[in-house]
Amino acid sequence: MQYFEKNSRALDYILSKDQKKHVILKYLLDQELSLKIYPFDKKAVIKKYLEEDEKVLIRMPEDWEEAGEKKVSLFKILAKYIEIDCQFLQQAEKDLYLLKVERLAIAKLNRESPRVNVPNGKTVVTNLITPKTVIEANMFNIPTLVKVNLEDYKNRLKKTSSDNIVIEAFKPGLDRKFEIVKRSRKSLLLEDTQNANSYSESGPDRLDYSKEVDDDIGTMIRKFKDQKIVSELIRPIIYKNHSDQPIPIGYIWIQSKDKKLSSDYLTELGRLSEEVVGRIKESNTIKTTEKFRVFDASPKGLKVKIHDPNLIDTLTKQEDFIFDILFKMQAPLTVSAAIRWWGKDEDGNLTLGLEFKGKSDHPGERDRYIKNLELMQKGAL
């Protein structure tokens, strides 16, 4: 089983013995705590606190095996989240274990809103808008949909130009100038390869060749002269993924032997680059209309179970996504939510902790959502 938390809680650590004693005796003694092992369904009870040695005697679940658990973390959620980290010492009796308290921490903030348990089938999420493939900065295998779209735009450009045109994905082994374009996400333009001044021209989105690529201008001038190249440009293609992160996935590389490539032409290629990215994003977007169970809900977010294999693979790499919340016999509510944590159970199913982003574009939708939670909490929905 796997568990990953994207935004850990901000915690205050209790350092003094007196404070530890107070928290454990008042809030944790003889209380059921959850073992911090996903899916957090194993419970333990602190039966005794030995103040002098800062040790606890804990009743563990019957199927707990101490041999593989030298470090033990437990938590309880009251008004605030409380976590206790311990080191296993020894087994005292059949299900009682002696542990050394190493750290005790309390969340800095109270839980903002209560969670409402959702009976199975009462609320689901559907119409998930997600990528088919998560495109990352250092992908070893470039998705086919990226290659197809880059090839299509290269063929379109070649129909109206006699220049040497290459539109490809970045890959290992390219010349250093391509690596710099990729890393900086800036364009490279040499309007006149035989004019030394061209090698020092720059701008906010344009590299200074002499400072950032190669300061041996004389050698480059001779090289371009031998190749009969009048002008050269490299424009990065910046893909913004579904979380709006900029990723340089490819480049437009043009060498002309009969004319000078201008800064206006570079700008025009920027618009082409955006069009390419739009096509790739459109090709890479899928709507999943299957319904997925909601376990609990609050005014701030949801906990939902995902069983679709493609979504299980892609959502763990996402920051956020758009979907519909569907209460039984009601119109859907469309929301955007950030993934705060995820876990996979023994069957490989994915559970997501989601936090809503911003407010709904449709007046009254948030009020309708809150009203549904209130009715569900009363058992009236």
Q: At which residue do the structure tokens 């004693």 appear?
A: 21
Distance CA 214, CA 178 (A): 12
Rounded CA separation 107/211 (Å): 49
Of 257 and 380, the structure prediction assigns the larger pLDDT to 257
Confidence of residue 140 (pLDDT cuts 50, 70, 90): low
pLDDT of residue 80: 85
What's domain 116-135+286-378's architecture?
Answer: Beta Barrel (2.40)
What mean pLDDT comes out for the span 159-169? 91
Relative to beta strand 32-35, strand 123-131 is unpaired
What is the CATH number assigned to the segment(s) 2-107? Answer: 2.30.110
In the prediction, which pLDDT does 198 show? 94
Q: Quote the CA–CA distance of 60 and 66 in Å, as a whole number.
A: 9
Flag whether pLDDT at 280 surpasses 60: yes
Averaged over 253-274, what is the pLDDT? 93
> What integer pLDDT is reported at residue 319 of this predicted model?
87
Give the H/E segment covering residue 255: strand 246-256
Cα–Cα distance for residue pair 379/381, rounded to 1 Å: 6
CATH number among 3.30.450.40, 3.30.1050.10, 3.40.50.12280, 3.30.70.370, domain 144-283:
3.30.450.40
CA dihedral 95→96→98→101, nearest 10 degrees, is 90
Domain ranges within the chain, ordered by starting residue: 2-107, 116-135+286-378, 144-283
Contact between 93 and 50 under an 8 Å Cβ cutoff? The reply is no
Q: What is the pLDDT of residues 287-332, one digit of tens each?
A: 999 999 999 999 989 999 999 999 999 999 888 899 999 998 899 9
Measuring CA to CA, which residue among 122, 107, 125, 104 is closest to residue 49? Answer: 104
pLDDT at 69 (0 to 100): 61
pLDDT band, residue 111 (cuts 50/70/90): low
pLDDT number for residue 261: 95
What is the enclosing helix (H) or strand (E) of 220?
Answer: helix 217-227
- Do domains 2-107 and 116-135+286-378 share one topology? The answer is no
pTM: 0.73
User: Which tens digit of pLDDT belongs to each residue from 24-60?
Assistant: 999 999 999 998 888 888 899 999 999 888 999 999 8
8 vs 264: CA distance, rounded Å: 47
